[in-house]
Amino acid sequence: MIWQTSRFQIDLSQPRVMGIVNVTPDSFSDGGKYFTQHGSFSGVFSHCERLIREGADLLDIGGESTRPGASPVPLEEELARVLPVVRHAATLGVPVSVDTYKPEVMRAVLDLGADIINDVWALRQPGAMQIVTGHPSCGVCLMHMHREPQTMQMTPMDGDVVPQVLSFLERAAHGLQAAGIDRARIVLDVGIGFGKTVAQNFSLLARQQEFLAAGYPLLAAWSRKSSLAAVSSTPLAGVAPLDNADRMVPSVAAALLAVDRGARVVRAHDVRETVQALKVWAAAS
């Protein structure tokens, strides 16, 4: 199985690790850690390089937080955050994904050599599909999101989410193919945490193999999600819930379970640990 992207044909016969590069001050997990408002991107450039040394097969760069309740970022600000990082990452020899829903950002990063558009809106924003269909070969990741980041957790989905999410993703993928996009360019993401309850998120993992019937590779994005803290925190008086840094072990466990259930790409903050765990999984497979 191959994921066709702008510059690379990514071999998905083995699971691939997508290293997360947040260029934001307010990401739920590592907001502000690599972000700069003073014109220096040396920290985030070094972070990109470190993730590759740790074994990241591709990088995913984002300039706008999509955590629950996050405020939208103006177009010019997102461009100012993302473009220098994409320009640098495109020289590092691995595929570069950009996490954005704005068509203007999509066009700009693809012009700089980005390989993949990773869109939480699944190209539903006006003009987004035209940017991707107008590009000769870029990859795309279509994600399911209930409502929007500002409201998605206020009123989560009702009922059994698996058939609902599967139906949405199949329609989105078929719409792209009808517009002329080869299916080899398409990867699907069920959208863990995007308008689902804790129980619904874990039902998507437990029944993940049902999504394989759609015939597209799956990307699993469990890294540091709050659902992991909800089920793995110690229920003892005086013991604080897991903060983001403490979610590494649950994140790696979720990544392994997702791969074992058929995911071909895992999106990770903790790249080194995820790569090590997948090597153990591969040795036993």
- For residue 137 the two structure tokens come to 């070969």
DSSP 51-102: HHHTT-SEEEEESS--STTPPPPPHHHHHHHHHHHHHHHTTSSS-EEEE---
Task: Calculate helix-pair angle for 75-89, 42-53, nearest 10 degrees.
Answer: 50
Are the beta carbons of 166 and 210 closer than 8 angstroms?
yes
Q: How far apart are CA 87 and CA 13, in angstroms?
A: 29
Residue 264 designated active-site: no
Residue 53 designated active-site: no
CA 63 to chain centre: 13
Active-site entry in 16, 196, 224, 267: 267
SS3 157: coil
Active-site entry in 102, 225, 247, 264: 225
Mind telling me the catalytic residues?
A: 225, 267
